[in-house]
Amino acid sequence: MVGIVVVSHSPDLARAAVNLALQMVHGPAPRIEIAAGTSDDRLGTDAARVAEAIVAAEDGGGVVVIMDLGSAVLSAELALELVPEPGIQTRLVPAAFVEGIFASVISAAGGAELDAVARDAEQALQAKAAQLGQTQPPIEAADSIIAPAAIVAKATIVNPDGIHARPAALIVEALAFVDARVMVATDRSARSPTALMSLGAQAGDVLRVEADGADAAVAVDRILALVRNGFSELAGRDRLGRETVGHDRLSPHPIGVSPGRVVGPALRMPDPITEPDPTIRVPEAERPAAIKRLANVATDTAEQLRSRSTAAGTVGQLLEATAAMATDPDLIADASLRIRDRGLTPERAAWEAIGSVADTIGAAGPRQAERVSDLYDIRNRMVSSLTGRAAPGVPDPGHPFVLLAVDLAPADTAGLDTARCLAIVTEEGGATSHTAIIARSLGIPAVVGVPSATAIPDGTLLLVDGITGEVIKEPTVDQQAATAPVLRPHREKLMSPGSTADGHRVALLANIGSARDIASALECGAEGVGLYRELYFLGRTEAPSVGEQVNACRAVFSRFAGRRVVVRTLDAGSDKPMPFLGYVEEPNPALGVRGFRTAASHPELLHDQLMAIKVAAEAETAEVWVMAPMITTVDEVRSFAQGADDAGLPIIGVMIETPAAALQAELILAEVDFVSIGTNDLAQYTFAADRHSASLASLNDPWQPALLRMVEMVTGAAADSGKPVGVCGEAAADPQLALVLAGLGVSSLSMAPGALAEISRSLAAVTLDVCRRAARAACDSDSPSSAREAVRALLTT
Ligand code: PEP
Ligand code: MG
C-alpha cells in the first residue's frame, strides 16, 4: 500500500485530521506517520522527523507527503535529501491539508497506486468547490470513455444525502483488490473519493457506472448493491429517501450483520420437529407393520448415536447411554401398545411414549434434566426419521457450506464449526439478534432478513456479502473471483486507551462469550472485558458444576490480569434457552421467566455461579465486577446485591435492559456500584419489538431517539451518583453512536473485539464538547435517520 506522511506544525491538528480520515476506512488502513512539532515540543516542523516518518511509512508502494503550511513545505523538501534510503518514491502533494489527508488515506486504503493517491489528494478541494456550486459537473454525460466491451449499468441513488464522504469511502473500499477500471458518470474514477464526492450526486439522481477489466462485473455489482442499499443509510426511509410511516417500514429486507464476502453451496437447517397429529388412525390391518417400522427406526436411531459415540471419552459414554434409551424395551412396548390398541401413527406413538417417560423422570427434580433432554433428542430423531425429514440440529455434510435457516438458536450458532460454516443467511433476525452477535464474534459473514431463504434448494451456489446484505444465487465466475480477499474480517489492534481528543477517558472493553473471543479480545488490545456472556451454559443439558464454572472464569481472569472483567450472571430463558431450567412453555417467552427472574425459581444456580466467580477471582488478579441481567425492580437489585455481597464479591452492578430499570436508575444506583446498559434488550422492550424479528429491525435501531433518551435518563442518574455507567449492547460498536453515548456520559463501551480500533479512532477525532453536542442533537431528533443526519452534519462542520 502507499504510505502517508502528515507534516504539521501541530501534533494535535495532525492527529485529529488523521483520525477523521481513518473513520472512513473499515478494512486495513495504510501506514500513516505524523511528523509534527519540533524536537523540543514547540509548534513547528523538523526535517529530520519528516525523513524518519517517510522511512517508517514506506510499505512498498511509495509515500505521499501532505503538509500544512509555510515551513512544513520547506521541511518536507529538505527531508527528501535526508532520507537515508534513496529508493523510496516520494510525492510532496500541494493539497489542502484536511481534504488531502482524507482523500489520500481512503485512496491508499482502496489499493490505488502512488500517482493516483497523490492526484486524489491534490484534487481533493474539488468536492468542496462542487458543493459550493462552483463547476458542478452533470451527473450523467453522454459518451462512454471506456472501451466498447465495458459493462455499463445505472442505479438510482436512494439515500437522502447522496454520495457524500461515507458512501464515497464505501465505494472505494468495495473496489479494493478488484481488477477493473471503473468510472462513474463516465469521467470520474470510482476509486477516487474526491472524484466521487465532486459528482454532487443527490437522492433521485441516476448514477451511471462503467467498468472494464477482469473483474468488471464484480465491480459494477458491488457499486450497484451499495447504491441500491442506500449505503446502509436508509433506516426509517423509503427507497426515495423519504421518511417512512406505518406499514412500509415494517417489511423485512436483507441486512448484512457480519462482514465478509464468501461463496459456497447452500445447506438448509432442518425444520424443528413439530408434534405429530394425534387424530390420524392407522387401519387395524396395517398396525403390525407400523409397530415393526417403529422398532426398526428405534434401532437405527440407536445405531446413529453409537456411531458418533466412538469419538470422545465422556461424550462418547453419554451418547452410548442415550443410544441404549432409544431401544429401551419398556419404551418400545409402550409405544407399540399405543399403535396396536389406539391406532396411533408410529410417530405419534413414539412422541407420546417418550413424552410420558420424560415427564416421569423430569418430576424427579432438576438434576435429571439432562436425561429428559436426551429423551427429547431421541424423540425428535425418531419422529424425523418416521416422517422422512432431516434430523434436527446443524447438519454436517462433510464439506463447507452456507447455512440457511429461518433463525438460529444461540446454542446452534455458538457451536458452529467456523471451518465448515462459510456464512449464515436467515429469514428472521435483526442486527442485535444473537445470531448476528455470535456470527460477528466468530467472524462468520451473515445476512439476516432474507425472505424465503430456506426455500433455496440445498447445493445451490450462493454468494453472501455480510456488508451489503447481498445474497446472489449461482454467482458468475467474475462475481466469485472477488470474494477471497475479504474472506475473514481484518483484526486491528487498539493502540491506546479510549479517549476523546481532549483527553476525556472512555474505557474500551470487549464482549466475550467463548475461548475464541478471549483470544480475539487480547489480539485487538481490549482494555478489559465489559461483558462476559455466560455462553458456557448454552446448549448444556445440565448446569455446569461450580468447579467447571471456576475453571471457565479463571480462563478469562488469568488472561486479563490487573484489568477489569465484568461477569454477567445467568441470562437464561427466551432467546437463550437452557434445558436444565426445565421445559416450561411460555406463550410470550421474551416477556416470561428470563434473566434474573430465573433466580427466583432456581436460587441454587445463582448461588453456585456467584461462588464460582468469587473463587476464581481470588485465584487470579483481574479486577472482577459482577452484574445481573434483565432487572426490572429495585427489590430485584437489592436481592442480587445481597447475594453477591454474601458471596464476598466487592464490585456489584446490574444491567439496565428494561424501561422500568431506566426509569428507576437513581434508586437502583443507590443499591449498587455500577450499571451497564444493554441497549439490545432495552430497545426491544422500549419499542415492544422482538429483536429477532426482521420485520421489526427498524424499531430496534439503536439510533431511535426514544432509546437514546432512556440512556440519557440512566447516565443522568449515574452522574448524580458519581458511579460508572457502561454500554455493552451493540450500540457501542457504531462509530458515530459511540460518540453520542460518550456525550451522554457513558464511561465505558463494550463491544465485539473487532470493533475496538474503529471506535477508538472515532473518539480520538473529537472533543468531549462535540460528543455532548452530538448527544443533544441525537436525543432531540424525531427519528433514527434524522438523529444520524444531525450527528453527521455536526461532525462534518
Ligand atoms: C443487551 O441486551 O444489550 C445485552 C448486552 O445483552 P444480550 O445481547 O446478551 O441480551
Ligand atoms: Mg440483554
Domains of the chain listed by start with CATH number: 1-122 (3.40.50.510), 137-245 (3.30.1340.10), 255-270+393-481 (3.50.30.10), 284-386 (1.10.274.10), 507-768 (3.20.20.60)
Q: Catalytic annotation on 692?
A: no
Grid coordinates in use for 33? 506517520
Bridge partners of residue 67, in order along the sequence: 7
What's the pLDDT at 187?
67
CA of 629 relative to ligand 2 center, distance in Å: 7
3-state helix, strand, coil in the chain (%, to 5): 45, 15, 40
* 434 carries an active-site annotation: yes
Q: What is the DSSP letter of 7?
A: E
Query: How, if at all, do strands 206-212 and 151-156 pair?
Result: antiparallel
Q: Given the C-alpha cell 483481574, which residue does it identify? A: 622
Strand 255-258, strand 401-405: pairing: unpaired
Cα 381 to averaged position of ligand 2 atoms, centre (Å): 32
DSSP 314: H
Burial of 360 (0-12, 13-18, 19+ CB in 10 A): exposed
In terms of Cα–Cα distance, which of 589, 598, 612, 682 is closest to 640? 598
- Predicted local confidence at residue 369, as pLDDT: 59
pLDDT in the model for residue 476: 84
Whether residue 486 contacts residue 27, with contact meaning beta carbons closer than 8 Å, is answered with yes
Q: Which of 263, 516, 271 is nearest to 395 (CA)?
A: 271
CA of 594 to the centre of ligand 2 (A): 10
pTM: 0.60
Q: What is the mean pLDDT of each run of 10 residues along the chain (797 residues)?
A: 94 88 75 89 89 92 93 90 88 93 88 89 81 56 48 81 80 77 76 79 83 80 80 54 38 78 91 87 95 94 71 54 81 94 95 88 62 80 89 84 87 78 91 83 87 90 88 84 50 83 97 85 94 75 83 93 96 73 73 88 91 96 97 97 97 98 98 98 96 88 96 97 96 94 98 90 94 97 93 86
- The per-residue pLDDT for 717 is 97
Secondary structure of residue 714 in the 3-state scheme: helix
Ligand nearest to the CA of 436: 1
Show the ligand 1 pocket: residues with CB < 6 angstroms.
437, 531, 533, 571, 657, 678-681, 728-729
Ligand that comes closest to the CA of residue 680: 1
